[in-house]
Structure 1
């Protein structure tokens, strides 16, 4: 069985005060580079450089679009997965937002105390990608760049030489010195660090939502939003706070990241539109390279087959489709799935074959113990249809508002 996560904790990060620079338009990013340091500016240019793919035309920004909270599919005919640089190349998994991604801890195993039994066990948490295969953002950078289904760059050296011969080589030298390109391996590492600096800059964690203003005492939630927030926190109703954590006694937005970075198996319905997983199910965390070496003694790697990292819910209203396989295009459907997955499986699975995107031997890993999943077929769900609407209304308060950029 998948380890039972109490998830009653919040991960707290000490961060400096942050300001987001963006023009009008929901989640739009200002096209200029005002407010960025030289290394962040360099990282932005690498992030947006379409000459690094083969064939040219795809950049990091192609699949991490500022207009949709740095999530996207690059015009894919299958919105659940991104289109790559090669004709007809499509990814295998839904693209996660990289807003707030820099706040994730490195991948590892952390102590988790079961609040009912008092037992402490080690559970996986942190890292980048939905399966945690990159330890941190620095390790994450090269994954999409070199993936044949994504940017398809033939090598790190190729990327370095494209930048060396490109339009912003002078900025690279300004940041890292005239000899930066003498050692391609060292240059790649430095360029990756620049991208990390950009992705760690203020515009990637703005804390600029209505909910943040509410925490600061600068806005009020509507009646339905307040109801949704209460249901979100109620351990006998939505119980969302168990995984999408926040520090209930804090009014500091930085204490409300809406994820504990652990991994959970939710039993998402199969998305038949993803060709790559038609005959080879995506097993998530258990296929993470090196997991066996990192896991504590006695940890059953098979117990996390089907588990994916708990995503932040910040900006969730604009980052569809949802779940690791993009099975749902509407936010309300996701909340309704959580509420009625077990009480009305025929609503979500063909022929009521629950957890049909997992091989039979791993279906026992799916979380069926924590509310709202702790229901049986035919029982009354923990959330009514009106409750679902209220939670969705609350989730919509988590969308960061654009701000007018100030020119230097």
Structure 2
């Protein structure tokens, strides 16, 4: 990790993969597994140290969640009467967007362009609240503190096999949306619903529908006397119902990929998937697991493939978007989540949330501005950004390539140039060959939910 480093950590964590590579005993390897460490796949693609995962069974939805489900699919809640939550977050596409447009068209008449690419709604149930504090790559229970950002100091690089190497760095982490501006799914639900560029609803319209529509009758009963007296309270309860639906319905967090089966010893990687997994975890190659953590927690919770943190990767400006035609327009992520953030949170300007990689292989737009449309494009950018910048960035009037062209010059020091594979300088060899990048993509395809392989999905608690 990070473009913003403060202190060098002295910790060293050795994973099961390293122990096995050194030929140490199976007993030692099993002891390491108790800490949630990963282990290398065997030559046949199997998992030599399978885990028992903590997987929840689908329970009947509560009355509140049932109302939330109906709201999720109700287009009449939008300003146009044509868009529901499910219009952008399609259940059959892992609650991500359909098509390959960089952003969605919405608004009261359906012709307004959204500000950012639509994220998936899957795997948000363990997202901690936003904070700025010590780097803990594997925690879902980060303390909700805000550290005062400063500049300077040592920047500790983050390693896929040593996520504690940067533990003393102060980093933004947690929160929902790509800038972390909401802490709960309850808060998140109101964002797109009342955004004039998205569902374009009004509180008055949503409250009026909840007061009359048949499916909300249980909500009105649950809201009691206060719900009958206050439309604002009924609206708040409706947004809470949307959150309960996303938490209670296991389709939002099924953990049903081939990788989950592999973790349990119930599937084998193909040779290219195995190669991709090893490259994904190799700190000198892909180094992907430094931020997209892929180890099982000590309590058995499956990995989310994110450390909940934020990166400034300098994705190219997407000139296909209308607002980028204004040369003064910049979307700077974390530091734009509140007024005055470009001054108060300047060391984090340009940073966006590290998303889960689960179901990433089914997406068709990537990064906050949807500038890339395939995993091949993303991998090329990760590996070649500073080696072949002309592939990604446009040229200015002087004919020179405008690197990092979607971040103002004042904040370009926040861009990650420390962690592999972003640590390469012009003239050096890329961290990954094209064949190795393809192997990582093959591994990422094992993260798609709904895998029905030789032994099924495994048992649920």
Q: Match of 2:280?
A: 232
Describe the superposition over 1:166-192 as per-residue Cα deviations: whole angstroms up to 9, x where unpaired: 231323235444763332121122111
Residue equivalent to 1:30: none
Residue of structure 1 aligned with 2:88, choices 45, 59, 63: 63
- Aligned-pair distance for 1:248? 6.3
1:302 to 324, 346, 352: 346
CA distance in 2, matches of 1:193, 1:402: 31
Offset from partner CA, 1:306-365 (integer Å, 9 cap, x none): 110000000001122001111111111101210111111112112332111112222221
SS of corresponding position for 2:105 = coil
Offset at residue 92 of structure 1 (A): 1.0
Calculate the TM-score normalised by the size of structure 1. Answer: 0.85
Residue in structure 1 matched with residue 102 of structure 2 by the alignment: 80
1:282 aligns with one of 331, 334, 341? 331
1:98 aligns with 2:125: no
Residue in structure 1 matching 2:376, options 324, 328, 332: 332
Summarize the Cα distance change of 1:147–1:118 in structure 2 as closer, same or farther, 3 Å threshold. closer
TM-score in terms of structure 2 length: 0.76
Secondary structure of 2:450 counterpart: coil
- Asked whether 1:354 is paired with 2:403, we answer yes
Q: SS where residue 171 of structure 2 aligns? A: strand
Q: 1:106 to 1:71 in 2, by over 3 A?
A: same
Corresponding residue SS for 2:134: strand
2:5–2:169 CA contact under 8 A, matched in 1 = no
Q: Is the 8 A contact 1:19 1:203 kept in 2?
A: no
Question: Does residue 152 of the first structure (1) align with residue 175 of the second (2)?
Answer: no
Identify the match of residue 173 of structure 1 among 181, 196, 220.
Answer: 220
Q: Residues of 2 paired with 1:19 and 1:60: CA distance? A: 25
Give SS of 1:110's match.
Answer: strand
SS of 2:350's partner is coil
- Which segments of 5 or more consecutive residues in structure 2 lack a partner in the other structure? 16-34, 37-52, 137-155, 159-164, 396-400, 457-461
Task: Give the stretch that moved more between structures: 156-165 or 332-341.
Answer: 156-165
CA distance in 1, matches of 2:166, 2:258: 37
In terms of Rg, which structure is larger?
2
Bigger mean CA offset, 225-234 vs 52-61: 52-61
Q: CA RMSD in A?
A: 3.0
CA distance in 2 between partners of 1:85 and 1:285 (Å) = 24
Change (3 A) 1:195 1:220: same
- Which runs of 5 or more residues in structure 1 are unaligned? 21-33
2:261 is aligned with 1:213: yes
- Structure 2 match to 1:182: 229
Q: 1:179 & 1:49 partners in 2: Cα distance?
A: 24
Within the alignment, does 1:162 sit opposite 2:199 as a pair?
no
Cα displacement string for residues 282-325 of structure 1 (whole angstroms, at most 9, x for unaligned residues)? 11111111686xx9xxx961111111000000000112200111
Q: Which residue of 2 aligns with 1:24?
A: none
Counterpart of 1:320 in structure 2 is: 364
